Structures are given as C-alpha cells and as structure tokens.
Structure 1
Amino acid sequence: MKNVLRSVLPGLLAVILLALPWAARADAFDDELLAIQTRWAEIQYQTAEKEKADAFEILRDRSQRFAAAHPERPEAKIWDGIVLSTWAGAKGGLGALSLVKQARQDFEQAIAVDERSLDGSALTSLGSLYYQVPGWPIGFGDDDKARELLTRALEINPDGIDSNYFYADFLLDQGDQDGARRYFTKALQAPPRPQRPLADQGRRQDIQNKLKELAS
C-alpha cells in the first residue's frame, strides 16, 4: 500500500500544482469582475449626477483593460458595454452616441460567444439600448429588435430583477401600462444577488419610482 501511495502521490501533487495557477487566474477574474460591478453600482446609485460622467469615464478605462485582457470571456465584454452605456447616459448629447455604438459592439460580441452568460445580461443590455437610443437617421434605435432581445433575455432569466425591469420599462415606453406594471411587480419579487446588494437596492428603488409614475 505504501509503495502504491509513493507511486501515485507525485503525479497527484503535480496535477494539483499545475491546477493552482488556473484557479488563481479564475479567482482574479471573478474578483475584478465583482470590483467593476460594485464600483458601477456606487457611481450609479451613490454619486451626484454632475459627477457621474467623470466617474464612469474613469471606470471605463478599467473595464476596457479588463475586457482586453480576457477577450475570450463574454462577462468582461458585457461589463465593458454596461459601463460604456451608462457613461453615455450620464454624458448625454450627441457625443454619447459613439459610446452606445461601442457598447452595442461589446454586447453583440458577447452574445456571439455565449448569449446565456451572466443570465443573458448581454441580451437585456442590448435590448435596452435599442429602445432607448433614437432611431434612424440619428441612431440605431429599433423597437422590434428591442422586443426580440428582451424577450430572449426573459426566456433565459425569467425571474431576474434586471431582465424583468428592462422589459417592463420597454413596455412602458410602448404605452403598455398594464404589462409594464406586471413586469415591474415581478422584478420586485426577484431573488437577491448576494454579492450585489447595492445594485439590488438601487434597482428596487428604480422600480418603485416607475410604479409611482404609473400610479399617478
């Protein structure tokens, strides 16, 4: 038995040692992704409006480097796109259009790799761009594409807070108040995301504000 162990242990240890760098890289990726998500929520929900554009611009430098370092990971592309699109929203004006075009490219690339990544977040985010960006000749807005993408996102993540929120907001934009109210209510019932409490808190406040708007 001892002889068997002596023959097996070196190979087992070699496998473990070879796996350690990969595990460390995976942990580093997850840590950086969470750091970007957390900083995004801090800017979106805890930063003064006049300071948001500058703060998102700084965060975009980080998310861009993160995506460039992991071109094979759709999660990194998704969050670079989210930072770009919210920076565009904070910046406003025609100058924001180039940012949302870059965000669209990020989301499309992530979908091409794995549309189910992060519970379909690329579909949700791209769909939200299509109904919020002006249509031709100014922008690329398209309500039909928005509906298609947001519906696909809901098929992947039917109980998610963001998938339901953005579909509800799209329906509100389309004048479907009953549908919007139904999906906003469902979004409020979404299970919490343990690592993203600030984002959940902020999104729930967004939903409450929309429901108040519908009730007025």
Structure 2
Amino acid sequence: MRARIFVATSTLLSLMLAAPIAVQAASVDSPAAVTAAAPAAPQATDPAMTQDVTQLLRDWSVIKYQMHDDKAQALKMRDLLVRATDLQTRYPGRAEPMISTALILGSIAGYEQNAGSLELVRKARDLFEQADKIDPTALDGASAVNLGSLYYLMPGFPIGFGSDSKARKYLERGIALSPNGLESNYFYGEFLSQQGEYERSAKVLAHALEAPVSVTQPVWDAGRRAEARALLADVRQKLVASN
C-alpha cells in the first residue's frame, strides 16, 4: 500500500446534486473518446439529507486538513464512520451517504495503515461502485472520481486491486461529468503526472485551480487548492527538467 491513501471527495463536498452533464461538455483536455451509457436520472433532492451530509463532510475536512496526528485523526474518523453509517440507515438507497461512508473508510485506512487497511479500502470501493450504479451523476460524478483515485493509488494484483487502465477510465468519466470541478481535475491531473504525462497534467491542474471557490466547504477548498498548487509546481519543474 502506498504511504497514504488519499480518497477523492470530488464535488460531493459542495453537496450539490448534479444533473447529468453531457460528455461533450466543454472542459480542458476532455477525453474525446469517453464512452458511457445514458446516465440515470438523478435522485430527487432531500434537504434534510443534504444538511446532514454537509455537516458530516465539514467535520471530515477539519480532521483531514486541520489535524496533524495520524492516530488522533483515525480516532476522529472512526467517530464520523458511526454517523455516516447512521445516515445510510436513515436514507436507504441514496448515493450520497454511501459515498460519504466510503470516503471515511478510505481515510481511516490511510491513517491507520495496518493489516486491516486493505479490507477497509475494498469496502470503500464496493460502496463507491454501489453508489455509481444507483446514481452515477450524484454529487457531480463523485463515485467515478473516487473509484478512479482508488484504482491508481492501490497496488495491483496480488496485493491489491490497483489498475491504471481502470483508473483512467473512471477519472475521464469524472471529468466528463464535472469538467470544471476542483476535485475531478485535481485527481486526473495527479494521475497524469504519475503516468509521466506532465504537459497534460499541468494543463488539467491549472484548470482545477480555476474552479469556483466553495462557500459551503471552505476548509476543504483551501486544503485541496494548496495541494493542487504544490502538485502543479512539481509537475512544471518536471516539465522543465524533461525538456
């Protein structure tokens, strides 16, 4: 397992239920050959659920970006997992609580890094896949971005289920669903960097930083933008070195 599993939160942190976005939507470096079945109709908005998930993910952001001790962060994430599981019970069949629970499971795996971490990540993957089947457009395609990030962050067989080809497929679908999102572009840009595609990566990461600032999730927005700026600077250095 890599040093830290950073599970994508995608635009789920803005907590806006996304309407289906056409694959042809304008975006930077949008894959021309993305193929996808006709998107399912998005689930109806539930204000109470949206409020509950909003607060859950605000607390997640504070743990991730404002705490700096893995053990303490893991314990706090365990508390959040109880709340997330309760949301799944209260809102059965909804993609958003599933995505939130999966996000927290992946975060716990990253902080604990023990013998049980791989199983937690597998559970997270299964929840993202379930949410993707229920409503692939939920939260601007958050399930696709999360699945893509898991597939490129995890090692491959026989240790894990990592797959660069699956990662690319899901991340490109995430871009198609959220062409101007901070999270969708950040994780696609990181993937491209790891593949040595520095020119494309720099373009995608620069576009990520053009995303509108989230007023509902300021802690997450500031933290992810800082990561995107740092990664973009690193990619640009690699571009100079390779020329």
2:96 is aligned to 75
Task: Find the partner of 2:48 among 12, 25, 28.
Answer: 28
1:65-107 CA distances to partner (integer Å, 9 max, x unpaired)? 1112212110111111111112211222442101110100110
1:22 is aligned to none
1:48 is aligned to 68
Shift of 1:180: 1.4
Structure 1 Cα separation of the partners of residues 69 and 154 of structure 2: 20
1:19 is aligned to none
Residues 133 and 94 of structure 1: CA distance in aligned 2, closer, same or farther (over 3 Å): farther
Report the TM-score, using the length of structure 2 for normalisation. Answer: 0.76
- Asked if residue 88 in structure 1 is aligned to residue 109 in structure 2, the reply is yes
2:152 is aligned to 131
Structure 2 Cα separation of the partners of residues 27 and 162 of structure 1: 23
- Asked if residue 179 in structure 1 is aligned to residue 200 in structure 2, the reply is yes
1:37-67 CA distances to partner (integer Å, 9 max, x unpaired)? 1011101100113321111111111111111
Structure 1 Cα separation of the partners of residues 217 and 199 of structure 2: 29
* Amino acid in structure 2 at the alignment position of 1:164: N
Structure 1 Cα separation of the partners of residues 89 and 230 of structure 2: 36
* Amino acid in structure 2 at the alignment position of 1:214: V
* Amino acid in structure 1 at the alignment position of 2:112: K
Provide structure 1 residue ranges, at least 5 long, that are not aligned to the other structure.
1-24
* Amino acid in structure 2 at the alignment position of 1:107: F
1:1-21 CA distances to partner (integer Å, 9 max, x unpaired)? xxxxxxxxxxxxxxxxxxxxx
Structure 2 Cα separation of the partners of residues 93 and 166 of structure 1: 25
Structure 2 Cα separation of the partners of residues 26 and 115 of structure 1: 17
Q: How does 1:113-124 map to 2 (within 5 A)?
A: 113-124=134-145
Shift of 1:193: 2.1
Give the % identical residues: 36
Structure 2 Cα separation of the partners of residues 187 and 138 of structure 1: 32
2:11 is aligned to none
Structure 2 Cα separation of the partners of residues 126 and 94 of structure 1: 22
Query: Given that residues 180 and 208 in structure 2 are in contact (C-alpha distance below 8 angstroms), is that contact kept between their aligned partners in structure 1?
Result: yes
| Greater relative contact order, per chain length (Cα 8 Å cut-off, separation 6+) | 2
Residues 47 and 182 of structure 1: CA distance in aligned 2, closer, same or farther (over 3 Å): same
- Asked if residue 209 in structure 1 is aligned to residue 234 in structure 2, the reply is no
1:167 is aligned to 188
Report the structure, 1 or 2, having the larger helix content.
1
Report the TM-score, using the length of structure 1 for normalisation. Answer: 0.85
Q: Say which SS state the counterpart of residue 139 (structure 2) adopts.
A: helix
Point out 4+ residue stretches in structure 1 off by more than 6 angstroms.
Answer: none
Structure 2 Cα separation of the partners of residues 115 and 29 of structure 1: 18
Structure 2 Cα separation of the partners of residues 206 and 92 of structure 1: 22
1:136-182 CA distances to partner (integer Å, 9 max, x unpaired)? 00111011000000001110110000000000011111121112111
Structure 2 Cα separation of the partners of residues 129 and 40 of structure 1: 18
* Amino acid in structure 2 at the alignment position of 1:131: Y
